[in-house]
Amino acid sequence: MTKHVYACIDASPYAEAVCDGAIWAAKALTAPLGLVHVIDRAQHTQTPDLSGSIGLGSQEVLLQQLAELDEQHSKLALQRGHHILDAAHARAAAAAVAEISEVMRHGPLLESLKALQEETRLLVLGKRGLSSTDAHGQLGMHIEMIIRSMQKPILLTQQRFHAPKRVMLAYDGSATAQKSLEMLAASPLCRGLPVHLVMAAVRSEQAEKQLAEAASVLTLAGFDTRTAIVAGEPDEALHQYQQEQVIDLLVMGAYGHSRIRQFILGSTTTAMLSKARCSMLVLR
């Protein structure tokens, strides 16, 4: 089965960045690009259910009018979806992506993405979608749920995307972090980019040894690798390092076994994802 880079695109200000991030990934991975738009009836129609409060005399007429209004909403949502996908297709074609497909799905977002999971190599999402565009400094309402549920790598973009020049891998020495390290080393996605391998911990001989061993994996894979141990709470310390070093792409495993484990399982991860000012790659 062919594995796609899937870009989940809606009408939010993140749509172009998601498209650009997916274009970059599809070219780096030499993978086909799939453009996905999901129509969730619960979101695209605002027609209330008044069937229980309509008087007997006018019930039939009003219910018919509500049904027609629902149908109009559905048609408009479908037309808008096609326009969104066509615009993204044109953008990808202009960027010389070799293979592009469009996918329109109906239903809840998470269920729609799960249905594509087997043929997904990488999923690209905006940090927030249309329903959460104005929630600055926060994650979109679906993002944490998707990260918890999907078993594929996820690239989260900000409102603008440019090809990364510097990559940072948050490393905690756990088995999951080691798997993320090996995935990064083996993947062509970040090939040729300098990688900052950063551990949020108290400096110790053991921490330095773990970091040196991890760095050797990337060095042997041909990466220009730099290491750092930063003190403080992981979300704050890693965010500060990312800002100071002008990191373009932050890479993390979805689960860890130290304090970084809290990133995905609790509020610390939400804080980390929310605070990030660059694209973020969550590995599984």
How far apart are alpha carbons 173 and 269 in whole angstroms?
Answer: 17
pTM for the full predicted model: 0.85
Q: Answer whether residue 136 shows pLDDT above 50.
A: no
Span 62-74, pLDDT tens digits:
677 667 777 787 8
Nearest of 201, 247, 258 to residue 228 by alpha carbon: 201
The burial of 50, by beta-carbon neighbours within 10 Å (0-12 exposed, 13-18 middle, 19 or more buried), is given as: exposed
Computed over every residue of the chain, the mean pLDDT equals: 84
How far apart are alpha carbons 136 and 2 in whole angstroms?
Answer: 36
The burial of 247, by beta-carbon neighbours within 10 Å (0-12 exposed, 13-18 middle, 19 or more buried), is given as: buried
Categorize the per-residue pLDDT at 143 as very low, low, confident or very high, splitting at 50, 70 and 90.
Answer: confident
| Residue ranges covered by each domain of the chain | 4-43+77-157, 167-283
SS3 139: coil
Tokens of 214: 């991890």
Pick the CATH number of 4-43+77-157 from 3.40.190.10, 3.40.50.150, 3.40.50.620, 3.40.50.2300: 3.40.50.620
Cα 211 versus chain centre, distance: 27
Higher pLDDT, 264 or 141: 141
Tell me which fold the domain 167-283 belongs to: Rossmann fold (3.40.50)
Contact 222, 187 (CB under 8 A): no
Tokens of 258: 């130290």
Contacts of 206 (CB under 8 A, 6+ apart): none
Higher pLDDT, 174 or 187: 187
Least confident range of 13-27, 139-153, 246-260: 246-260
Equal CATH topology for 4-43+77-157 and 167-283 = yes
pLDDT value of position 257: 41
User: How many DSSP H helices and E strands does the chain contain?
Assistant: 10, 10
User: What stretches of 125-224 show up as alpha helix (H) in DSSP?
Assistant: 143-149, 175-186, 205-220
Span 73-132, pLDDT tens digits:
788 888 999 999 999 999 999 999 999 999 999 999 999 999 999 999 999 999 865 554
